[in-house]
A and B are shown apart, each in its own frame.
Chain A
Amino acid sequence: MPDIYLDNNATTKVDSVVVDAMIPFFTEQFGNPSSIHRFADGVAKAIKKARSQVQELIGAEHDSEIIFTSCGTESDSTAILSAIKAQPNRKEIITTAVEHPAILNLVDNLEKEGYTIHRMPVDKCGRLNLDAYKNLLSDQVAIVSVMWANNETGTIFPVVEMAEMANAAGVMFHTDAVQAVGKIPMMLQDTKIDMLSISGHKLHAPKGIGVLYLRRGTRYRPLLRGGHQERGRRAGTENTASIVGLGKACELAIEHMEYENVQVKAMRDRLEQGIVEAIPHSFITGDLNNRLPNTTDIAFEYIEGEAILMLLNKAGIAASSGSACTSGSLEPSHVMRAMDIPYTAAHGTIRFSFSRYNSMSDVDEVLKVMPSIVATLRKLSPYWDSINNEPVADPEQAFQPSYA
C-alpha cells in the first residue's frame, strides 16, 4: 500500500537535517543558555544563529525583532492581547471571518469582555473587500489581524497593502502567517506589518515552537512576564533544541523556495486538474489565481468529507477535510460557510496540501483511486441517482424528511 502524506498544512515531517541539528542540544549541550559553564557553551550562540536564520527567511530588518514562542497560537494571542493592553482606549478589533480558531476564539472571548469585533466577510472566492476594510479603520481600532494565507484553501490575502492602509490610519497590523512563511517569499522590512506569527511545525521544524515577529518600535506588552529571556518579551527558559531546529528549517526553506513554487506547485496543479476533469460535480474552492503553491481544496458534492478521508486512508493517502464530522461539530468549516459554498458541497471538501517530500507519483496514485472513492460514497447517498450517475433532480426536494 502506498504511504502518501498530503496533509502538510496540518503539520509537516521534521526534516532529518533539522533533527540532526537539534540532537546535540538534548545531549552534550543541554545547558541553560543563561548559564556560564561548559554545558551551556555555544547554546546562546546557537540561539543567536537561529534568530538570524528566521530573520533572513522573513526579511526582517533586525534579529531582535524575532521573539521565540511556544507555537503559532501563542504568537497570535500575544500579538492581539499586547495591542489591546498597550492601547486601553481603543475598543475595536478588525479581523476576517476565515481566520484560524487561534484568532477567532480569542476575539470571540474579547467580544464578551466588551470589545467590538469586525469580522470581515469574504466573497465566494474567499476574497476581502478592501473598500469596506478602509471604512472600518479608525482611531478606535486597537489592531487589525488578517491571515497571510488561509489554512484550508490556501487563499492569499493582500496583507502588505492592508498593512499600509492600517499604518496610514494609525492602526497596528498583525498577520497570522503560519501557513505562508516558508512557502512564499517575504521581505518584512519593506512592509508596514507590525507583528507576524510563525509556527515551526508547518515548515519541517518540530511542533511546539513558534515566533512572533515584532517590528522595532511597535508598542508591546508581554504575555508571559518573568525571566529576562527574549529580552523580557517572552519569559521562560528557551526551548533550545527546537529553536535551533526552527533556524535550520528556515535556512532549508530559503533553499527550497523556488522548488516549492515551481515543482510543488506543478504537482498541486496536476492533481486538482486531474480530479475536476475526472469527477463530475467536484470543484476547487478559494481564489484560484492567488493561492499558496502547495494547497488545493476540492469540494465533492453530495457526499461527506470524513467518509472520503476514511476511504483515502484505507488507500494509503492522508489528507484532511473541512467537514463538520471531522471536528465533531455540527457545522461545516467556517471558511466554507464564509465563502457561501452550498451545503451540498461544503460537507464534502477535501484539502490536499503538498510539501517538497511529495512527488508526481503521489499525484498519480490519488488520481487513480479518487474517482472510485467518490463513486462508492455517492452510491450510498440519498442525494445521488446511481442509475443515471447524477444528482437526483432537485436534491432538497427529492429528499423530504417527514417532519420538515
Chain B
Amino acid sequence: MWDYSDKVKDHFFNPKNAGAVEGANAIGEVGSISCGDALRLTLKVNEDSEVIEDAGFQTFGCGSAIASSSVLTEIIKGLTLDDALKVTNQDIAAELDGLPPEKMHCSVMGREALQAAVANYRGEEWKDDHEEGALVCKCFAIDAVMIEEMVWANKLRTVEDVTNFTKAGGGCAACHEDIEAILEKVMKERGETFDPSAAPIEKVEAKAEKKPLTNLQRIKKIEEVIMSFRPQLMADGGDVELVEVIGNTAYVNMTGACSGCQMSSMTIAGIQQRLMEVMAEFIKVVPASQMPTSELVNIKEVGHA
C-alpha cells in the first residue's frame, strides 16, 4: 500500500470536522463519483469579519482524499476568506507531511473545494480550469494533459524540451517512453515527425541570437523566458514574476505553492538553465527576497509559507 505519513493516517483514522456544518453559508462541491473523488466543503463564515468560524467536510474518496479534506478544515478554521484563499494544495500536502505523487490530486481537490466554497459565499461563479490526465512522470507528479499542453504551446520536439518546460522526465527517466509517445502524437497532429536524435529547441534559438541586444531587449527577453514557466507553476498553485535585473542576476518573486517548497530551488535552477540557453550568457536567478535591501521596492508579497 501507499507509504502514507503518520499525519495522513491520523487524519484518516480520526478525521476532524467530518460532516456538514449546521447553518453553513458557503458550500463548495468538487469532483464526482465517476472520478472516484468527491468533496463537499461546508463553511460557516462570519458575515462581518469574513472569518471562517466553522468548517466541515464530506468526502467520497481514498485515504489521502479523506485526510486532505480533514486537514484542510483544520487549516482554514479561524482564517479570513482572503487568507484562506491563499492556502495552496502544497500547503495542504505539507501539513500532512507530504503525499505520494500519485495522490497530490487529493490536495488539489481540497484547494478547489475551498475556492468553490468562497465563490459560492460571494455569489461568484467558480470555474474549474484544472484538467487532469493520467500521471506520466511520478518523480515530479506531472500528468499527460500538462505535458501535451506544453508540447503544443511551446512547439516542443524532444524529451529534453519537455523536461526543461515541465520537469517531467528529469528524475529517474523511467517515463521517457511515455513522453516520447506524447511527442509522437502531438507532432503527428502538427504534421511533423518525432526524431529521437533531434536537438532540443533552445539550442537552435540560442544560435540564432547573433546581434548584441539592447538593455531593454535583453530584459524583455529574460521576462519572456520567465513568463513561459508561469502556466506550469500556476497549475501547482504558484506563480513567478521578474522583479529586477541587475548585471547578470535576475531577481524573481516566487509566490504561492512555489515559495518555500522544496520544488522552488529546482524551479529556480530550471529557469536559470533555460535563461542561459536562450540568452547564451551566464545569468543567475535569485529570489527577490535576497535582493540588496536598498532595491527592495517592487516586492508585494513573498509568499506566506
Contact = CB atoms under 8 A, between A and B. Distances in A.
Interface in B128-184: 128, 132, 134-135
Interface in A301-329: 302-307, 309-311, 313-314, 323-326, 328-329
Most chain A beta carbons < 10 A, residue from B18, B59, B60, B128: B60
Nearest to B63: A310
Contacts of A380: 15, 18-19, 57-60, 66
A61 B299 CA distance: 81
Contacts of A344: 33
Interface residues of B, number: 44
B38 A383 contact: yes
A338 B210 CA distance: 58
Contacts of A386: 19
A343 interface: yes
Contacts of A323: 36, 62
Most chain B beta carbons < 10 A, residue from A310, A328, A395, A404: A310
Given A382-B58, A383-B60, A403-B128, A304 B36 contact: yes
Given A380-B18, A380-B58, A402-B116, A328 B135 contact: yes
B147 to A, nearest CB: 15
A401 B116 contact: yes
B1 interface: yes
A306 B62 contact: yes
A17 to B, nearest CB: 30
A174 interface: no
A329 B19 CA distance: 27
B61 interface: yes
Interface size class, chain A: 35 or more
Interface string B10-46: 0011010011000000001111111111111000000
Given A329-B135, A330-B134, A380-B18, A399 B62 contact: no
A293 interface: no
Nearest to A404: B32
A403 B18 contact: no
A343 B18 CA distance: 23
Interface of A: 302-307, 309-311, 313-314, 323-326, 328-330, 332, 343-344, 347, 379-383, 386, 395-396, 399-404
17 contacts: A304-B36, A304-B65, A306-B1, A307-B61, A309-B1, A310-B1, A324-B36, A329-B134, A330-B35, A343-B33, A343-B34, A382-B38, A399-B32, A400-B29, A401-B116, A402-B29, A403-B127
Interface of B: 1, 9, 12-13, 15, 18-19, 28-40, 57-66, 100, 102-103, 105, 116, 119-120, 125-128, 132, 134-135
